[in-house]
Amino acid sequence: MKNKNFALITSFIGIAALFRLFPHPPNVTPVAAMAFVGGAYFTKKYWGFLLPIIALFLSDLVINNTIARPFFTDHVGFVFFSDYMIPVYIAFVLTAAIGMVMHASGMFKKIVFGALFSSIAFFFITNIGSWMSSAFYPKTFAGLLLCLEAGVPFFRNTAMGNLMFFSVIILAIEAIKSYVLKPQAA
């Protein structure tokens, strides 16, 4: 049963990573759901961090060297990693940790609170990271507020996308665990 659960969760993380490669509205991706599901459902917590991070990194490699390649004018050749990714990965790890904390919660709480908390964490971490690393915003409190304000339209998409992907993935996992993987009575 444990191997089937491991395969189930790994499959959903892999499918979510592949989904990033298809056209989508800005910030409407299953990235947070990948991290949350890893944290909430893997019994060995290191898998809850490791497999979602590997999936994110591999999908980033593809995206950064194909779809997003024109944005890396300062990189020559293959884009392995870029500074902009650091706040994203920090938010990703925090989302996996939120999943670990909420693993015993009911399905509704996992979906609503997991999606909300991860959206808020992503918003603040990535916008503060953008403010710190970009020359676009002054390094003042007013500059930080300006950066946060510029991120508000993306927050709506992030929260709606997270709510959608958390719902679909968590409901699918729970349904498969209940109806397909449930232990057979002897």
Q: Is residue 38 part of a domain?
A: yes
Give yes or no for residue 15 having a pLDDT over 80: yes
Q: Is residue 97 part of a domain?
A: yes
Q: Is residue 175 part of a domain?
A: yes
Q: Is residue 77 part of a domain?
A: yes
Tally the residues of the chain.
186
Q: What percent of the chain has pLDDT over 70?
A: 97
Q: Binning pLDDT at 50, 70 and 90, where does residue 104 land?
A: confident
Q: Is residue 186 part of a domain?
A: no
CA 5 to chain centre: 20
Q: Is residue 50 part of a domain?
A: yes
Number of domains composing the chain: 1
Nearest of 132, 13, 20 to residue 84 by alpha carbon: 132
State the Cα–Cα distance between residues 24 and 2, nearest whole angstrom. Answer: 34
For 107-125, write each residue's pLDDT tens digit: 778 888 989 999 999 999 9
Average pLDDT, rounded, for the chain: 90
Domain that holds residue 17: 2-179
Q: Is residue 185 part of a domain?
A: no
Q: Binning pLDDT at 50, 70 and 90, where does residue 30 land?
A: very high
Q: Is residue 46 part of a domain?
A: yes
Cα angle 49, 55, 57 (rounded to 5 degrees) comes to 95
Helix and strand numbers, DSSP H then E, in the chain? 6, 0
Dmax (CA) of the chain = 68
pLDDT attached to residue 74: 78
For 57-72, write each residue's pLDDT tens digit: 999 999 989 888 888 7
